[in-house]
A and B are shown apart, each in its own frame.
Chain A
Amino acid sequence: MTVENSGNNHNGKFRSWLSGLLLDWDRTQMLICFFLVVLLAIAPFFISSTYYLGIIILATIYAFIGISWNIVAGFTGQLLIAHIIFLAVGAYTTIVLFNNFMISPWVGILIGGVIAALCGAIVAFITLRYGLKVDYFALFTIALMVALRTLFLKWDYVGGAVGMWFRLTNPSFDKMIFENKAPYLYIAIGLVVIGLIIQYRIYRSKMGKYFLAIREDDDAASALGVNTSQYKMIAVVIGAAMAGIGGGFYVMYVTFIEPPQVFNLGLNVEIVMAGPIIGGLGSLAGPVVGALLNKPFAEIMRGALTEGRSGSSLIVYGSFLILTIMFMPRGVTGVLHTIYRKIISQYQRKAQGDS
């Protein structure tokens, strides 16, 4: 690329920094996410309706959960379908710790993440120890979800079938209870930013490459020195921990939890799967792009076109999933990548033509 030498050194440095950014698809994806995060951050200044703000908050939470699933299903290719069990565990932990022990949610959420991580370790251990392949692993996680739902329905300490209402007191920061919706949004944005950073660092690291290798070809990875079982478990534990933390915050926001609500494949599709798949499973920007497209669109369909009839969001998510797999298997990010490559190669050709 041509660098302008006449005078402005800063200009040259900036241009080479920018090209270093944009010539790397990973970094470009992060740039896209950065812009989306900025849009989210300034949204409260333009949107005053609590209804729309609420949708945005949920979409942001979904983005964070989506990142956690992306690390497991997208990076290592493990078919952990019922990922929502980790969200549920984190949620229940947080709400129980707060209601029964007055432990601040800021701490409770972290503990929820730890408990969820433990559950992840157990699930991964069972799966790997007994060599549960592809389909069986998916079935196992679904069966686990159903079993947990039944268990929690009977477990009175966590509210049983009635569920648990968050013990609402006066708004206070340390109880994570806010009058306004905006603080919830900023916490959610904070989670997404942290999630994106973790995701990116993993992706660029040795561990990330090993994750991808496992997804592409388990045996080949083994033959190159990758302890596939260990790395698969690490991925599940990381994903579970993040989902647990996300779940803890989710329950603080919706203030209510009951087993049929969270141990639910429909919610699993909505929160965990739809975002990353439509955004692009395995990509860096996929979970965020997907969640921010999905949730608002589904809500619009639900509200505007069908007057809020139940089932419409399921119709939307189901259709999106089908259409994505059939026509856009690499998701929106995949499409963006193709466009990106065309632009870059045109740009490089033009640059070569100039010089």
Chain B
Amino acid sequence: MSPEIFFQIIVNGLFTGGIYSLVAVGLTLIYGVMIIVNFAHGEFLMLGIYIAFLAWTLLGMDPYIVIPLAFVMVFGLGALIQRGLVQRVLDAHPLNQIILLVGVSTLLIGLVQFFFSAEPKAIHVPYETAVISAFGLRFAIARLVAFFASMLISLLLYLFLHYTRTGKAVRAVSQSRDAARLMGINVNFIYYLTFGIGAAVTAVAGVLLAPNHSMIPTMGQAYAVTAFVIVVLGTMGNFIGAFIGGLIIGVVEAIAGFYLGGDVKIIASMMIFILILLFRPAGLFGRNRS
């Protein structure tokens, strides 16, 4: 394999990985704060891309403009789901939590399928095939933008969590719910916020996919499974772990895709997942939070 091809694969993998990172960061945030695995997470990504589709079909809007809109809409939906449903089962048997979220996931897929049908859809933007050549490599403009956008959003989220008062409150709750409460933090509010943010950034990832990606109502599930793998790899609840894990998995999949063929690349993630579960379930970054 020539160096150009090698670097091309790495770059493509990083581009995909950027999206993965964003999705994984959202998932790990929710887990870190509420100790709940969001089995409906993939559906927020799917909603994001369909919002982009809707905006493009109805208003001719370019997906990148839709990002703030999608963020706000899905944030609201996520917060609502948390407040109305998830909140009630936070202390219940995990089976109940999982079933509830599977129900939410099924409902969301059903609604999208009902309104948009199960046929694959796609948007078309003028720059969808535009490519930049540099350093002997080719970068698809849309994917390049998606990569930088996802990096930026991850960075903003990180800054939010570490340098704003609310963000620090979120981290406090993730470390100790009771201690946070004793310090006057409104834990329930943090829960709504966190679920909303987690869902919203995932939806943005979906929007970023729109220019080059066809969409079907069940597309979120494959991304969700990959996100689970990444979150476990990077240690559940660990922001940096999820971020780096996303990039790693993106590159691994790209390499696997090159050697094994594109549609089988998910096997690579599965293998990694199984290996982690068997040999280092606490993930790369140490002990699991209980």
- Direct touching of A and B (C-beta under 8 Å): yes
Cα separation A322 to B112 with both chains bound (whole Å): 17
Cα separation A81 to B37 with both chains bound (whole Å): 13
A143 touches B109 (CB 8 A): no
Q: Which of A136, A147, A264 is in CB contact (< 8 Å) with B267?
A: A147
B99 touches A147 (CB 8 A): no
Total A-B residue contacts, Cβ distance less than 8 Å: 141
A122-165 with Cβ < 8 A to chain B: 126, 130-132, 134-136, 138-140, 142-144, 146-147, 150-151, 153-154
**B225 interface hit (Cβ, 8 Å):** yes
A143-B228, A311-B118 are contacts. A318–B100 as well, Cβ < 8 Å? no
B258-289 interface code vs A (CB 8 A; 1 in, 0 out): 00000110110010011001100100000000
Q: Which of B39, B95, B100 is in CB contact (< 8 Å) with A73?
A: B95
User: Which residues from A are CB-within-8-Å of B104?
Assistant: 318, 322
Identify 12 new A-B residue pairs, CB closer than 8 A, beyond the known A132-B277, A136-B281, A325-B103.
Answer: A77-B93, A81-B98, A130-B277, A130-B278, A140-B274, A146-B225, A265-B102, A306-B114, A313-B110, A317-B103, A321-B107, A325-B96
Minimum C-beta distance from B111 to chain A (A): 6
Q: Can you name the residue of chain B whose Cβ is closest to the Cβ of A144?
A: B270
User: Which residues from B are CB-within-8-Å of A176?
Assistant: none
Which 4 A-B pairs have CB atoms at the shortest separation, nearest pair first?
A314-B110, A311-B113, A318-B107, A321-B103
User: Which residues from B are CB-within-8-Å of A146?
Assistant: 221-222, 225, 266, 270
B118 touches A79 (CB 8 A): no
User: Which residues from A are CB-within-8-Å of B165?
Assistant: none
A136-B277, A143-B229 are contacts. A311–B94 as well, Cβ < 8 Å? no
**B105 interface hit (Cβ, 8 Å):** yes
A276-320 interface code vs B (CB 8 A; 1 in, 0 out): 010001000000000000000000000000100111111111111
B228-272 with Cβ < 8 A to chain A: 228-229, 232, 263-264, 266-267, 270
Which of A135, A154, A326 gathers most chain B CB within 10 Å? A135
User: Which residues from A are CB-within-8-Å of B229?
Assistant: 143
Q: Which of B85, B95, B109, B225 is in CB contact (< 8 Å) with A314?
A: B109
B114 touches A312 (CB 8 A): yes
B218 touches A138 (CB 8 A): no
User: Which residues from B are CB-within-8-Å of A273?
Assistant: 99, 102
**A236 interface hit (Cβ, 8 Å):** no
Q: Can you name the residue of chain A whose Cβ is closest to the Cβ of B279?
A: A130
Q: Size band of the B side of the interface?
A: 35 or more
Cα separation A154 to B263 with both chains bound (whole Å): 9
26 interchain pairs, CB-CB under 8 A: A73-B95, A77-B95, A79-B98, A130-B277, A134-B94, A135-B98, A138-B98, A139-B273, A143-B270, A146-B270, A150-B264, A150-B266, A151-B267, A265-B218, A266-B106, A310-B118, A311-B118, A312-B114, A314-B107, A318-B103, A318-B104, A318-B105, A321-B99, A321-B107, A326-B89, A326-B100
**B117 interface hit (Cβ, 8 Å):** yes
User: Which residues from A are CB-within-8-Å of B48?
Assistant: none
**B26 interface hit (Cβ, 8 Å):** no
B225 touches A142 (CB 8 A): yes
B103 touches A322 (CB 8 A): yes
Q: Can you name the residue of chain A whose Cβ is closest to the Cβ of B31?
A: A135
B85 touches A315 (CB 8 A): no
**A61 interface hit (Cβ, 8 Å):** no
